[in-house]
Structure 1
Amino acid sequence: MTTVRQLLEGKSPEVFAVAPDAAVIDAIRLMADKGIGAVVVMDGRQLVGILSERDYARKIVLHERSSRTTRVSDIMTAKVVTVAMTEQVEHCLQLVTDFRIRHLPVVEAGSVVGVISIGDLVKSVIDEQAQKLDQLQQYIVAG
């Protein structure tokens, strides 16, 4: 069973963050520039929220607010579901399903050390299943 630690080993270690008082437009630009769907919101070293494309669509676009004048703290999700490095991928999939979220910040010793997406989790499961299929095929051929 794959752990979050193993999943993060195959990813860029960079965590993209914005401050709660940043303008939403700056957070959206960062997401666009980095090709990501969410950024963590940090007040210094403390995780205070997460801002996703979904937050933007539902809280800016649908309410006809301005991305330039609205602060990240006004639309971010403040109750952030996080995981530890020791969590297994299956548990993470259960969390994203139960909470209907797409991104999980990874926290170790009180610091955000990574973010995993539902895409990372699905890819991990597919890779693990492909590996098991290969092993079964080799067993059948050798048997």
Structure 2
Amino acid sequence: MKTVAQMLCDKPQQKVHTIDVDAPMLEALRLMARQNIGALPVTRGSSLLGIVSERDYARKGVLQGRSSVATSVRAFMTEPVLTVSPRQSIRECMALMTEHHLRHLPVLDNGVLVGLLSIGDLVKEAMAEQDALIQHLEQYIRGEVA
């Protein structure tokens, strides 16, 4: 099974978009819409403070009557944020996401944000690995593998 580092290298979009903790939530929503992403790591300088998602906005904003124009990302973000390292396996990430009902996992390498994994990224990778295993087993059954 691949590691997080291997999976990040295979992602077509390597850039991790972030939002400052004091930015208005509307700015975060616009960035997520523009980049077609569902969550943003929340930072202050190079420090990861939390994560904010469309789900956070719906639950902590719309349902509570908060304005996305007048309220900073800080009021909507989830903290503390669970993170993974590049050395962890995809299986470990899936277990963590399942256990904690997460859709996104920031990747930190020695405290530096180097990536963001979505549940979609992990499902896609798991399916690719299963497809490869099935193909290998079919070849083995047909006697095509020595």
TM-score, normalised via structure 2 length: 0.95
Q: For 1:38-75, what per-residue CA distance to the aligned partner results, in whole angstroms no more than 9, with x for missing partners?
A: 00011000000100111001011101111000100111
Q: CA RMSD in A?
A: 0.8
Q: Residue 26 in 1 paired to residue 23 in 2? A: no
Give matches, 1:59-138, under 5 Å.
59-138=60-139
Aligned residue for 2:2, secondary structure, equals: coil
**Identical columns (%):** 46
Aligned residue for 2:108, secondary structure, equals: strand
Shift of 1:81: 0.4
Aligned residue for 1:85, secondary structure, equals: coil
1:13 & 1:109 partners in 2: Cα distance?
18
Shift of 1:79: 0.9
Aligned residue for 1:2, secondary structure, equals: coil
2:100 & 2:77 partners in 1: Cα distance?
16
Aligned residue for 1:16, secondary structure, equals: coil
In structure 1, list runs of 5 or more residues that go unmatched. none
Shift of 1:89: 0.7
TM-score, normalised via structure 1 length: 0.97
Q: Which amino acid aligns with 2:101?
A: R
1:136 & 1:78 partners in 2: Cα distance?
44
1:118 & 1:72 partners in 2: Cα distance?
22
| Residue aligning to 1:8 | 8
Q: Which amino acid aligns with 1:8?
A: L
Q: Which amino acid aligns with 1:6?
A: Q
In structure 2, list runs of 5 or more residues that go unmatched. none
2:20 & 2:59 partners in 1: Cα distance?
20
Q: Which runs of 4+ in 1 moved over 4 A?
A: none
Aligned length: 143
